[in-house]
Amino acid sequence: MDNKAAARLTAVVLTISTKGASGERIDTAGPAVAEMLSQAGFQVCSTKILPDDRTAITAALVELADQVGIDLILTAGGTGLSPSDVTPQATRDAAHLDVPGLAEAIRAAGRKYTPHAALSRGLAVTRGKTLIVNLPGSQKGATQSLEVILPALPHAIAKLKGDPSDCAA
């Protein structure tokens, strides 16, 4: 990816984990995702751990998109089939538009590593001019997923911000 294209872009990483938020589990996914974004040239404004609470997750996404104006929000965790996994629902609550190709690419690439990747309910959506993508909660799953979509993110965000150039390479 062109680091110059990403250099102007802001990002926030939200780890969604009740155990992580309470200090019962060390978050390794969020810091690894933040490091990948930084190395790609994004300005990572913050990382935060939130509990598996639909209302709190939605509120954080809305605030970061609407009030703070973050370009990219990546979540890590809460995308599985457990009753407490509510990240996709919270993301849907905040969404304006779906970006299904990113989530499809993540699941397709993940199936190369584990058949369980097909169980992920993670979404990619927009809210205003902010792109929001749900990643798996494990460090390995989150970084492998981000690696797949990272090259497309600066272009996606540029289009959200109104870039009129053609999409063809």
Order the strands of the 10-16 sheet from edge to edge: 43-50, 10-16, 72-76, 130-135, 124-127, 97-98
- Residue whose C-alpha is closest to residue 142's, from 117, 169, 112: 117
Q: Report residues of the chain scoring pLDDT below 70.
A: 1-7, 168-169
Domain range for 43 is 3-160
- Residue whose C-alpha is closest to residue 128's, from 88, 97, 165: 97
Burial of 132 (0-12, 13-18, 19+ CB in 10 A): buried
List, in sequence order, every residue forming a beta bridge with 12; answer none if it has no partner: 46, 73
pLDDT at 165: 81
Query: Does residue 49 form part of some domain?
Result: yes
Query: Does residue 83 form part of some domain?
Result: yes
Number of folded domains that form the chain: 1
Query: Does residue 167 form part of some domain?
Result: no
pLDDT at 72: 98
pLDDT at 4: 61
Query: Does residue 55 form part of some domain?
Result: yes
pLDDT at 5: 61
CATH code for position 138? 3.40.980.10
Burial of 13 (0-12, 13-18, 19+ CB in 10 A): buried
Q: Considering the entire predicted model, what is its pTM?
A: 0.95
Q: Which two tokens stand for residue 24?
A: 């019962």
pLDDT at 8: 85
pLDDT at 2: 54
Query: Does residue 169 form part of some domain?
Result: no
Distance CA 144, CA 70 (A): 23
Query: Does residue 165 form part of some domain?
Result: no
pLDDT at 168: 66
Query: Does residue 166 form part of some domain?
Result: no
Distance CA 142, CA 32 (A): 8
Query: Does residue 52 form part of some domain?
Result: yes
pLDDT at 1: 47
Distance CA 134, CA 105 (A): 12
